Structure 1
Amino acid sequence: MKKNIPVILLAALLSISCTDSGSDSPVTVNTSGNTYINGFFNLEVEKPVDWYAQSAEETIMLQQEGNKVLSGDDENMQKMIEAAMESSLPLFGFFEYPPGTPGKMNPNVLSVAENIKMYPGIKDPCDYVKAVKQILQQGQLSYEFDGECQSTTIGGKQAGYLDASLKVGTFDIAQRYHALITDGYAVSIIQTYMDEESHAKVDKVMDSIQFSR
């Protein structure tokens, strides 16, 4: 697995409304109200009312071009989406407050799809979760893990999850790393929360996730 995975996952500690790109687009779109749909992955999820959603296009631009802004250039945007499909593609990211809001701990749910076609050793969700755990253990943040990968279901699909925690300054942060395998991709969904109240909020997002196939 690529070493840049933790950068994407750890974005959940710090900090997706989208434009319509077609019914089978890999870019998640806001169809109506707070409902977000990804046609390629057959994913539907509800954003909590008044929460912040970061643009998927903006996230892809940051992944592919650093700080270069290419808004309004559909051809370049399409090239970036295609490049992201070969590595890792943001699906959605919902935050209680806009990332960077001063003085606010920020519960959030972040989802990324990673192309695993070149990783034959990843055969099921827990294979992916274990690989993520190994990478996080090699990083600079002092994660603590609660046991090993556990099996569950998300939106009707088989999934695995692992609970982790760490200190950020004086704050205790909890995360749950979910993963499921579909069409040659590992879809990871990371919940970040701080207490029982914020845990209930991110659980509500997870409960809203549905896969149409």
Structure 2
Amino acid sequence: MRQIIYLIIAITTLSCTNQEKKLPDNFDFGKTENGSYKNEYFDMEISFDPNWIVQDKQQMNNIIEMGSELTTGEDKNLKAIVKASQVNTAYLLAVFKHEVGSAVEFNPSFMVVAENINNFPGIKNGSDYLFHAKKLLEQSQMSYYFEKEVYEKTIGKSTFYIMEAKLDHMNKTVIQHYISTVTKGFSLSFIVSFATDNGKNELYEIIEKIKI
């Protein structure tokens, strides 16, 4: 199930100490309906092909758990970091082009993740956040490499930063773009995973239409 193996959820990067989960009273996990995801807290709307497969809460939890196990392996310290940081993380949306487990070479995916960073005042923007994300990926059991520096992209009215990560496995190069900004005390990140230019183009069609 390559599409799960490469959907690395370990962008929760910031703490190895246990913290009580604290979300604002008005925090919104958002609603998904007919190819549209809306979130009032982040004043965000994401449109996508309604034929793509939205993961429900249980499916998302299963993917998160599997992704965490695959990235941390037997590294107990890394397991502790990922487990602790998940306390402050909200997984808002995960969509795949095909049903998980479909007989396809690779299944492009789009995720939205928000992490509470109120305890980390040094993180001023998405570039700062991605610095920590890169460090965690470099510690993971997957051999990621990075050919480009982090760069800016305007999405809607917001400035995001993009980190491009690559992974070679089983004679296939898989690419993930981590696209992050800082807003309302959270890092807000879009994670896209693809293996072909066509997959990339389909995912960036989603990104270009995001209203935020």
**TM-score, normalisation: structure 1:** 0.73
Structure 1 residue matching 2:128: 3-state secondary structure = helix
- Give the match for residue 59 of structure 1: 60
Task: Write out per-residue CA displacement over residues 143-177 of structure 1, whole angstroms, 9 at most, x where no aligned residue.
Answer: 11022211111221011111111123222101111
- Give the match for residue 178 of structure 1: 179
Q: Pairwise mapping of residues 144-159 of structure 1 onto structure 2 (< 5 A)? A: 144-159=145-160
Structure 1 residue matching 2:111: 3-state secondary structure = strand
> 2:92·2:114 contact (CA, 8 Å) conserved in 1?
yes
Deviation at 1:49, TM superposition (A): 3.2
Which of 9, 28, 31 matches 1:29? 31
> 1:125·1:159 contact (CA, 8 Å) conserved in 2?
yes
CA change 1:86–1:155 in 2 (3 A) is: farther
> 1:28·1:56 contact (CA, 8 Å) conserved in 2?
no
Structure with the bigger RCO (C-alpha within 8 Å, sep 6+) is 2
Deviation at 1:202, TM superposition (A): 0.5
Task: Write out per-residue CA displacement over residues 53-73 of structure 1, whole angstroms, 9 at most, x where no aligned residue.
Answer: 112465368879xxxxxxxxx
Name the % identity.
Answer: 24
Deviation at 1:112, TM superposition (A): 0.3
| In structure 1, distance between residues paired with 2:146 and 2:205 | 23
Structure 2: state its 5+ residue gaps.
1-7, 13-25, 66-84
| In structure 2, distance between residues paired with 1:184 and 1:178 | 17
Query: Are residue 133 (structure 1) and residue 146 (structure 2) matched?
Result: no
**TM-score, normalisation: structure 2:** 0.73
Structure 1 residue matching 2:161: 3-state secondary structure = strand
- Give the match for residue 115 of structure 2: 114
| In structure 2, distance between residues paired with 1:102 and 1:61 | 20
Q: Could you say what the CA RMSD is over the residues aligned between the two structures, in angstroms?
A: 2.5
- Give the match for residue 205 of structure 2: 204
Structure 1: state its 5+ residue gaps.
1-5, 11-23, 65-83
